Structure 1
């Protein structure tokens, strides 16, 4: 009986962790993290991080790794920015962002399905290649601005941007929630991530599943890149540079088993993105140097992974 209650309580650990992080930085920053400007910054960071994290749940839930998310966001946003400047159209920019991201997603899905090379190595290399493409494409230019468009592109007020964020994230979250929890695809993803042998013996088309999860993830990347573009109104070589690692840490903080499987939850994307956004903002407001912030994040990441690995016991067959 106690074990049953303990299993239920463990499901709320990520949410409890989020509130503890908020409480800790509310104290250490003398309430600074709860001020309107800080909350606005955290909200913006959470929105873009959650879009990418929600899609990444499908990839990691199926037992795959994608370490190229930062490079994919950078290239997608930059090409979307060039399209917006050349045409003066936000719609064209959106279509370019979606097209570029989907093309990259399909490419990664094909590699995962048909190339017998560890995927995390492929995506690490791909991330470097995408970043290099952006650097070559932009040359000596560090950033490009929507103000340089051939025809003026309207800017959005804070209220309008908040509405766009909520609508876009809400729609994508509902889509991901339905697909992951209430469709055969979601069950196949969890079985595939829990044990590929069981998945194969169950008749699951693993190649199809791998391709689909990367396409779903690519939609989140495209939406995040577009939101960054219209909110900041400038993109460059540093766009999304840390978002790839932030997503990995966010999923762990959100309670996502990095090897995927039946304990994968779509809520990990939302809770984890909110937690890492508060964590980043809090460490910055404490006046810590960048190197110290990175070390602190690494220690927290390792601690959470260690605790999760000690408590996670899969009931499926050994891989």
Structure 2
């Protein structure tokens, strides 16, 4: 009799929303389909909302320009996210690196030196962020919150009352028409894919993100892996700073603003969890970056104010993080929340 009752109870069990989402998310096809499905849905919605104007060539050019900047940063940041760390200072790092690079250009007139300075400054700032976390044992998110304010203040002081510093339009055109942006992005993306998916570095990062305690027992150095992840990210942010400057032929106090949210949103829209682990990858960022750029452009085209855009993106981000969050029930792992 008891067995019959138990069997009846099992049959009457109705899956909760959380259980349905878990089944969907754990499907092997989910990560392959989700990014493309989200991009397609957004394109269709804004095409209908704008009466077909969303399909203009100029709109797609603008979306791609944004996506290259966001995607370059997101590809690098995937290294940081994969081992369970979180850094939201990407925008302020990009802004300060771009500011110093443009200032060097105005004094030397050398675009090569400008590019090198932006990359070196970005690497130095990300290395400093990492050192504060690894050596001083301050959580990366805490460091990021503080340095975001510091780097932003320095950029504002350097730019001064004008609010922006222009560079020679011909130089921007030369770099853009010469294909520098696309060549640099492709080389960086290929480097990240190889390093992350075909070397020991990527395996260690995913292992640390999935279970730091077990990884430590195998002799993996968390400090070494963290420094590698931050430096790879710094290289990407430096290149994105160059892309941002040549895109508008100037740097301003607004350069890099909101980029941290765009990068995180691109990561989760690309199908990767910002909490790291075995399902992390280095290509999610570029897929999500296209969706974020399309979302930003579409909302502006339908007349949504910037304040509402921030709110809408924040809501989407929270929903996606909730869907993507993983809590291990058996093995001890790093504290993710």
TM-score range, shorter chain: over 0.9
Note the alpha carbon deviations across 1:150-204, whole angstroms, 9 max, x for none.
xx8534269726x333211111110000011000000000011111101101100
Say which of 24, 27, 30 aligns to 1:7: 27
Note the alpha carbon deviations across 1:82-129, whole angstroms, 9 max, x for none.
111111110010111011011112112212222222210111100110
Q: 1:6 to 1:209 in 2, by over 3 A?
A: closer
Shift of 1:252: 1.2
Which residue number in structure 1 is paired with residue 207 of structure 2? 191
Say which of 40, 43, 56 aligns to 2:77: 56
Which residue number in structure 1 is paired with residue 138 of structure 2? 117
Indicate the SS of the match to 2:138: coil
Structure 1 runs (4+) deviating above 4 angstroms are: 3-6, 312-316
Q: Does 1:131 align with 2:147?
A: no
Q: Which has the larger radius of gyration?
A: 2
Q: Does 1:175 align with 2:191?
A: yes
Runs of 5+ unmatched residues, structure 2:
1-22
Shift of 1:7: 1.9
Q: Does 1:87 align with 2:108?
A: yes
Note the alpha carbon deviations across 1:129-151, whole angstroms, 9 max, x for none.
0000111222212000113xxxx
Runs of 5+ unmatched residues, structure 1:
none
188-197 or 136-145: which moved more? 136-145
Q: 1:302 to 1:49 in 2, by over 3 A?
A: same
Say which of 47, 52, 75 aligns to 2:68: 47
Is the 8 Å Cα contact of residues 175 and 181 (structure 2) preserved in structure 1? no
Q: Does 1:65 align with 2:81?
A: no
Alpha-carbon distance in 2 for matches of 1:153, 1:5: 48
Q: 1:159 to 1:237 in 2, by over 3 A?
A: closer
Q: 1:230 to 1:158 in 2, by over 3 A?
A: closer
Which residue number in structure 1 is paired with residue 171 of structure 2? 154
Say which of 285, 297, 300 aligns to 2:301: 285
Is the 8 Å Cα contact of residues 75 and 285 (structure 2) preserved in structure 1? yes
* TM-score calculated relative to the size of structure 2: 0.87
Which residue number in structure 2 is paired with residue 256 of structure 1? 272
* TM-score calculated relative to the size of structure 1: 0.92
Q: 1:291 to 1:7 in 2, by over 3 A?
A: same
Q: 1:316 to 1:235 in 2, by over 3 A?
A: farther
Is the 8 Å Cα contact of residues 24 and 30 (structure 2) preserved in structure 1? no
Alpha-carbon distance in 2 for matches of 1:117, 1:212: 18
Alpha-carbon distance in 1 for matches of 2:226, 2:275: 14
Alpha-carbon distance in 2 for matches of 1:17, 1:316: 33
Shift of 1:270: 0.7
Shift of 1:268: 1.0
Q: 1:86 to 1:202 in 2, by over 3 A?
A: same
Indicate the SS of the match to 2:180: helix
Is the 8 Å Cα contact of residues 47 and 169 (structure 1) preserved in structure 2? yes
Alpha-carbon distance in 1 for matches of 2:26, 2:244: 40
Note the alpha carbon deviations across 1:255-292, whole angstroms, 9 max, x for none.
11111011101121111111100010011111011222
